[in-house]
Structure 1
Amino acid sequence: MSETDTQLERTLTLKAVVLFGLAYMTPLIVLGTFGVVAEATRGAVPTAYLLTTLAMLFTAYSYGIMSRRFPASGSAYTYVRNGIDDRVGFMVGWGVLLDYFFLPMVIWLIGAAYLNARFPEVPSWVFLLGFIGLTTALNAYGIKLAARVNSLLMVFQVLVVAFFVLLSLRHVFAADGAEALLSTTPFFNDQSSLSSIAAGAAIAAYSFLGFDAVTTLTEETIAPRRNIPRAIMLTALIGGGIYVGVGYTTQLVHPGAVFNDADSAAFEIARTIGADLFGAIFLAGMVLAQFTSGIAAQASASRLLYAMGRDAVLPRRLFGKLHPNFHTPVFNIVLTGAIGIVAVFLDVLSAASFINFGAFIAFTMVNVSVLFMYRRDRPTRDRYGVIRGLIIPGIGALVNLVLLTQLDSHAVVLGLIWLALGLAQLTYLTRGFTREPPQVQFDDAE
């Protein structure tokens, strides 16, 4: 296999990688899902996001440790393979495929739904295919172009979020005075409880997949041992801060959890604080947010498939090959787009039900990988000590297991079925566990 087939190009800076992770997280998603999270928490949206942010920081730290030790594409799949065992790594990678396959689908489905609501005369599948076609072309052409497009569109998205917050504060100030701006009601009220907030946090965790996606760009990042751990923590911190802040101001405008339509609650609030003009701007921001997030999600999915194909866990000739001119895994990108077409036959809830199951499995096992590394690797013990190498990842694993128990039972059942299919594939690859799964040696990164 030629060098072109086995090496990605290093072109991404720390700033570009963080922006890519934030685009994956989609800052506007806190508004897109505001009504759903508010109903789950009974009017304590910022608390759910604060709890999730704190919980995810433990896991983000573990991701940083593993990305510094194993700077290669593949995310949790790579870390668990190297930190624990090849077979366990395969199962984690198989579980993560749920996230990476279904997240672009959900993103494109939501974007198409927004546009169809504004232009009902156009079938939603037309918008869906438009999203898929544009993002597939950008990602196939090259990660650098996709990152530039993401950077430009992220600016607009951040401006929409900023105006939403400012208009919310102005609305609350005009209606109830300055004291209302410091209310603690959005964090906790008579209707909310620890169990309802935990249920909301389990939903909110869906919004934090961006720091996992960052790791899939390791082999295209300059100085990844330094920049990827930084990008992971910055993505989690910045994204979490945006979610908490926007959730707080939005909950100030609309206390409680009663909406005409929870799925479009933010549109009602946008019109309340800025009339129809801002409602139109908000709609444009939401659609562009779905576009930028779709670019990042599809790129990350294709890199995970590339890592598994390069290991011959999936057919190497298809999944482990790069385009000779674009130096991107074009087959994987096109495949991800083709799978997205299935969204024509699904709704958002059906497609999204898998995502957090795979995420919590991956997050838990990356934390456990650090624990394994601490137990058997002397340099890891010496470098990180008990607190960073044992206590932090231990807390991260426990928190993710607790959040996993808060998921809808149907999501858990369907997730377990998916894992059973993965186990069957692993059994085939290892000839009944009589041999190790196929593996290639990753090049070390500077």
Structure 2
Amino acid sequence: MHDTHTDAGELAEYGYQQELKRTLSAWAVFAIGFATISPVVGVYAVVQLGFVFAGPAWIWAVVVAFLGQLLVALVYAELSSQFPVTGGVYQWVRRLGGPRIGWLVGWIYLASAVASLTTVAYLGAAWLYMLFSEGTPSSATHVLLGVVFVAVALGINLLGVNPVKHFLNAGIIAEGVASIAVSVFLLLFVHNNGFGILFETLGAESASGGSALAGFLTALAVAGWAFLGFDATTQVAEETEQPRRNVPRALLRAYLFVALTVLLTGLAVTLALRSPEDAVSGALADPVFTAVTDGLGGWSEKPFILLVLIAFIACAISIQTYIGRAVFSFARDRQLPFSAKLATVGPRQIPYVSLIATAVLASLGLLLGLNGNAAATLIAFGSGGFYFIFLTVAVVALVARLTGRWNPAAGQLRLGRAGLVINVLAVVWLLFEAVNIAWPRVELAPADGSWVQVWAVILVFSALFVAGLLYIVIAKPHTKLPATATSQPATPTPETRHPDPGKVKTS
């Protein structure tokens, strides 16, 4: 018999032994979520494209994306409170929707996560180049620096959990200075535009055939990237103290804190720009950097670059951390080729083989950068895959909720009657945004890009979907699940799970 009042006992109910060490506090889990979502990475990834397609009104696309993704984050928080198992969406969908759809979701999730690491490394490489050189790096240099980024993130992860925590804390400090402190300064002392500019496009609709609505939808598709990664907290559930309580709280706190910081920074930059028309025309390649250095003075260039670079490195480290755990969870259920090797936990109690494998794949993805500016294509890749996953999880959760397969009231975070409404609204939002992101747009492809790059999201993820289906039919991974991992734990009551007078309840 297992003592189910302990974290190890609860894990045993799901058929797993405690292999990963529980050393992550509530703050450490928050740090992982914060660094993964990353306001600095989010803003820098979307602000330039937002200006080009929607002008200063791009900020409203960020507001819409924030509210829509908040619905999704609440659904994820409920699920993570009830299923405190490393693997996140793969584990949830497998248990609520069945092993086949669980495998397919896990497969596309891994591909999307690797694409997000590639994207962050590609974007961060530009800042690494700026720290030491002027101008723009060649395509080959950009890709090489991206590989260096991935290698640094991997090296720090291989040192173990404690070094990762220290680097993420440094990243949070850098984010706080680079995002919050600088944004507040700009809002208070550097106003070159009135608030009325937030409702103007300044001719940006010309990039979308003269349609302001089409431009806004494109900006909204890009803005979705800024609100990815909050589920990173769920991937370290088995390394977290009191995961039923700490994981969902960290998820929501990280999401809200980052989202509000992104909105603050976006507002500050838009109001501070001396020539927003240049950002719309594309003549101004980096609106954020220009607004900050113009506002603070030329002395701030290198210190600001260093702060942003630290934030990008912390984001890459965090993404590498949770991808490694996702692969580990998949592999220990014998769901991948070479599962035995990928599920290996080293003496530092980390899944080091999974970490190395995903770093190699992310580095290979950087080869896309050899064909000019690949930022928009990479953002579309990552966003498209994650929004497909978000949608699938929300639909599976809704069906399980309505059919009685899932009782959200058994978790420590309970939304009560509002949970059903939130779940329905999340599905509606995700249906819209998933189609919006996948929509083939010439303007998001490189200037000399082929039709393959225009249809990249649909083509790539259709290929992944078909490959996943073929693997299910041929390899039958759902039949290889360990017997202990196929059993469902008894539905808990709130009183039998870590009695905690401070637990969240809204009903």
One-letter amino acid matched to 1:209: L
Which residue matches 1:32? 44
CA shift in 2, pair 1:263/1:73, >3 Å: farther
**Structure 2 residue 190 is matched with structure 1 residue 172:** yes
Of 481, 495, 500, the residue aligned with 1:438 is 481
More displaced stretch, 396-405 vs 163-172: 163-172
Give 1:371-382 correspondences, 5 Å limit. Answer: 371-377=398-404, 380=407
Separation of aligned partners in 1, 2:419 and 2:433: 22
Which residue matches 1:310? 332
Separation of aligned partners in 2, 1:251 and 1:236: 22
Q: CA deviation at 1:359?
A: 0.8
Which residue matches 1:398? 428
Separation of aligned partners in 1, 2:202 and 2:329: 49
**Structure 2 residue 306 is matched with structure 1 residue 284:** yes
Q: CA deviation at 1:421?
A: 1.1
TM-score, normalised on structure 2? 0.79
CA shift in 2, pair 1:224/1:137, >3 Å: same
Of 463, 466, 477, the residue aligned with 1:420 is 466
Secondary structure of 2:297's counterpart equals helix
Which residue matches 2:125? 112
Of 318, 334, 343, the residue aligned with 1:296 is 318
More displaced stretch, 67-76 vs 106-115: 106-115
More displaced stretch, 412-421 vs 258-267: 258-267
**Structure 2 residue 72 is matched with structure 1 residue 59:** yes
Query: Contact 2:107–2:468 (CA<8 Å) still a contact in 1?
Result: yes
One-letter amino acid matched to 1:420: V
More displaced stretch, 70-79 vs 119-128: 119-128
Which residue matches 1:161? 179
CA shift in 2, pair 1:281/1:45, >3 Å: farther
TM-score, normalised on structure 1? 0.89
CA shift in 2, pair 1:187/1:279, >3 Å: farther
Secondary structure of 1:7's counterpart equals coil
Aligned residues with identical type, % of pairs: 21
Query: Between Structure 1 and Structure 2, how many residues are aligned?
Result: 434
Separation of aligned partners in 1, 2:419 and 2:187: 42
Separation of aligned partners in 2, 1:262 and 1:81: 47
CA shift in 2, pair 1:91/1:344, >3 Å: closer
State the structure with bigger RCO (CA 8 A, min sep 6), 1 or 2: 1
Secondary structure of 1:346's counterpart equals helix
Query: Contact 1:429–1:437 (CA<8 Å) still a contact in 2?
Result: no
Secondary structure of 2:87's counterpart equals coil
Runs (5+) with no aligned partner, structure 1: none
Secondary structure of 1:44's counterpart equals helix
CA shift in 2, pair 1:317/1:6, >3 Å: farther
Which residue matches 2:58? 45
Q: CA RMSD in A?
A: 2.8
**Structure 2 residue 226 is matched with structure 1 residue 203:** no
Of 77, 80, 83, the residue aligned with 2:93 is 80
CA shift in 2, pair 1:305/1:225, >3 Å: same
Q: CA deviation at 1:146?
A: 0.2
Which residue matches 1:322? 345
CA shift in 2, pair 1:416/1:126, >3 Å: closer
Query: Contact 1:5–1:322 (CA<8 Å) still a contact in 2?
Result: no
Separation of aligned partners in 1, 2:397 and 2:85: 16
Separation of aligned partners in 2, 1:162 and 1:381: 35
**Structure 2 residue 239 is matched with structure 1 residue 220:** yes
Q: CA deviation at 1:4?
A: 11
Separation of aligned partners in 1, 2:213 and 2:378: 28
Separation of aligned partners in 2, 1:382 and 1:153: 36
